[in-house]
């Protein structure tokens, strides 16, 4: 009888031990699965090009390859998206022009005067105006609104500059050569006259870390000139297929297009090195491939970090500019 009772006790103990071991294995498997799921989720989130992913860690714009495959849907108006407010023909007095000038301003969706916003200044191309990039349903207005809605960029104020910087009454009579040198004056107008006006009139974050400049073609050249002349004011600089005329080159030599603003690029110090310097040109551009790549080579030799692309298949038009703005908007003020 004692033997039978002993056998029953041993059997019960063995069963209990097996149950504990089974529960332990199940618990370990659940923990392992939960860990793997969390890792997969974190990996997925880290690959999303979202603004939120850059807030908790250092963001390096140079580590991200620029894209030139953005589909047309990003540049079209969508239902349910707030595209912000376009303020047209905003007037300010320019001491550089000795006359009033105008600009167009895009205030982001949800603009709140109790908050402060970084600012991007945009130069148009040759013969253009301050309404080329920022206007109702213009490509940059729609692109920026869609990107902000999709959390691919951050709230900012965008100012479309009029590069003509002389007496307004003379504008229609100016030759191309006169326009070129009038545009050169915008380099000072933006920093000396327009920026103080914007900072006084709107709710703006100041400092070079909160100020960007960009432009295309002749505006791309002026963007580079403005950023490098005023390195203490602009932390982000972009030139999309920039023209000659920034520094001396062999391209279009002997023409007014080639007359340089600088004898050489002003060399940034450690304290005013651009946070991001972006240049790009299409492989089918008929005018500015050589000078863009020359600017890149000179800056490389100076030790000035830049990201310069030769974008396959693109020409010298707004189809290319909007791809460029997509890249720039994903990287500034982050």
Q: Which of 29-43, 73-87, 250-264, 320-334 has the lowest mean pLDDT?
A: 29-43
Is the confidence at residue 43, as pLDDT, over 60?
A: no
Predicted structure pTM score: 0.85
Please tell me the predicted confidence (pLDDT) of residue 41: 29
Is the confidence at residue 303, as pLDDT, over 50?
A: yes
What tokens appear for 285 in the block?
């551009």
Please tell me the predicted confidence (pLDDT) of residue 245: 98
> Shortest CA distance to 305 belongs to which of 282, 281, 272?
272
The 10 Å Cβ neighbour count of residue 2 is 6
The structural domains of the chain, ordered by start, are: 72-331 (3.40.50.1820)
**Angstrom distance (rounded) from CA 128 to CA 222:** 13
DSSP structure class, residue 25:
H
Please tell me the predicted confidence (pLDDT) of residue 51: 66
Please tell me the predicted confidence (pLDDT) of residue 73: 96
Q: Rounded mean pLDDT of 217-231? A: 98
**Angstrom distance (rounded) from CA 298 to CA 294:** 6
Please tell me the predicted confidence (pLDDT) of residue 33: 38
Element (H, E) at 318: helix 318-331
Is the confidence at residue 333, as pLDDT, over 90?
A: yes
Query: What residues are paired with 106 via a beta bridge?
Result: 86, 158
Is the confidence at residue 316, as pLDDT, over 60?
A: yes
Q: Rounded mean pLDDT of 27-45? A: 36
Please tell me the predicted confidence (pLDDT) of residue 203: 98
Across the chain, mean pLDDT equals 88
pLDDT single digits (tens) 77-130: 999 999 999 999 999 999 999 999 999 999 999 999 999 999 999 999 999 999
**Angstrom distance (rounded) from CA 73 to CA 77:** 8
Angle CA(216)–CA(321)–CA(171) in degrees, nearest 5? 40
**Angstrom distance (rounded) from CA 232 to CA 216:** 22
Q: Which of 54-63, 175-184, 200-209 has the lowest mean pLDDT?
A: 54-63
Instruction: List, as one string, the DSSP characters of 68-132.
Output: ----GGGGS--TT----EEEEEEEEEETTTTEEEEEEEEEPTT--TTS-B-EEEEE--TT--TTS
| 182 vs 34, more confident | 182
Q: Which of 57-61, 195-199, 259-263, 276-280 has the lowest mean pLDDT?
A: 57-61
């Amino acid at each position: 009888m004692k033997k039978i009772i002993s056998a029953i006790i041993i059997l019960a103990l063995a069963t209990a031990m097996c149950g504990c071991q089974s529960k332990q294995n199940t618990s370990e498997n659940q923990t392992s699965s939960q860990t793997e799921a969390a890792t997969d989720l974190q990996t997925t989130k880290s690959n999303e090009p979202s603004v939120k992913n850059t807030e908790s860690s250092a963001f390096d714009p140079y580590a991200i390859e620029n894209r030139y495959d953005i589909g047309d849907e990003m540049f079209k108006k969508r239902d349910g998206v707030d595209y912000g407010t376009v303020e047209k023909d905003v007037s300010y007095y320019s001491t550089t022009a000795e006359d009033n000038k105008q600009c167009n301003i895009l205030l982001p969706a949800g603009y709140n005067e109790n908050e402060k916003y970084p600012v991007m200044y945009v130069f148009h191309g040759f013969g253009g105006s301050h309404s080329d990039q920022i206007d109702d349903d213009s490509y940059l207005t729609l692109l920026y609104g869609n990107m902000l809605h999709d959390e691919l960029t951050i709230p900012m104020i965008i100012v479309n500059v009029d590069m003509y910087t002389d007496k307004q009454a003379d504008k229609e009579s100016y030759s191309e050569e006169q326009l070129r040198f009038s545009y050169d004056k915008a380099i000072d107008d933006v920093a000396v006259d327009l920026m103080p006006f914007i900072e006084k009139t709107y709710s703006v974050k100041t400092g070079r870390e909160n100020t960007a400049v960009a432009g295309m073609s002749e505006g791309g050249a002026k963007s580079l000139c403005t950023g490098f002349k005023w390195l203490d004011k602009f932390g982000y600089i972009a030139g999309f297929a920039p023209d000659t005329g920034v520094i001396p080159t062999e391209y279009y030599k002997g023409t007014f297009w080639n007359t340089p603003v600088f004898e050489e690029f002003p060399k940034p110090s450690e304290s005013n090195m651009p946070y991001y310097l972006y240049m790009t040109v299409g492989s089918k551009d008929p005018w500015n491939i050589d000078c863009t790549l020359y600017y890149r080579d000179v800056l490389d030799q100076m030790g000035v970090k830049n990201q310069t692309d030769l974008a396959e298949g693109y020409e010298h038009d707004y189809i290319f500019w909007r791809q460029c703005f997509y890249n720039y908007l994903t990287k500034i003020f982050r």
